């Protein structure tokens, strides 16, 4: 009796119901995993801004030690990016400075902005990874 309910001998494969269940499970897993993956990818891109703002701080402090003022020109402070930077960097100068990293469009961090003050305070002023 049980043999009649099962497939005939020699036939192999999956039923349409089994395939539909697998596709549904994969779809549910993808719906959960993809947004998390994109968020982690964005946070990884933000590490560029954090580390390079730290480098700007180091360069600004070295410039200040030599010239007794902070510079607005990051190049004169010895700062330059290598490769394809995902952020553009600017800085104010004078007795204090504020360095800013702004996400470029088409890089996955457009609209993201970070600032670092001469006191070393790092702030995410506009978060693109929310």
Map residue 60 onto helix, strand or coil: helix
Under a CB-based contact definition with an 8 Å cutoff, are residues 114 and 47 in contact?
Answer: no
| 6 inside domain | no
Instruction: Count up the domains in the chain and report the number.
Output: 1
| 4 inside domain | no
| 108 inside domain | yes
Kindly report the CATH number assigned to the domain that includes residue 120: 3.30.700.10
| 48 inside domain | yes
Q: What is the pLDDT of residues 38-96, one digit of tens each?
A: 889 989 999 999 999 999 999 999 999 999 999 999 999 999 999 899 999 999 999 99
| 8 inside domain | no
Backbone phi, then psi, for 77, in 5-degree steps?
A: -85, -5
Predicted pLDDT of residue 128: 86
Structural domain that includes position 90: 15-126
Answer yes or no: pTM beyond 0.95: no
Predicted pLDDT of residue 98: 96
Q: In the structure, what pLDDT confidence band is assigned to residue 129 with cuts at 50, 70 and 90?
A: confident
């Amino acid at each position: 009796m049980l043999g009649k309910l099962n497939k005939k001998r020699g036939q192999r494969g999956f039923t349409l119901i089994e395939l539909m269940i697998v596709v549904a499970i994969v779809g549910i897993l993808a719906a959960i995993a993809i947004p998390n993956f994109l968020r982690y990818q964005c946070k990884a891109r933000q590490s560029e801004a954090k580390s390079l703002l730290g480098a700007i701080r180091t360069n600004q402090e070295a410039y200040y030690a030599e010239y007794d003022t902070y510079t607005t020109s990051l190049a004169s402070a010895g700062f330059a990016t290598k490769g394809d930077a995902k952020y553009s960097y600017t800085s104010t100068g004078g007795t204090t400075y504020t360095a800013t990293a702004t996400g470029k469009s088409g890089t996955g961090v457009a609209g993201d902005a970070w600032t670092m003050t001469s006191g070393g305070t790092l702030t995410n002023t506009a978060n693109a990874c929310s």
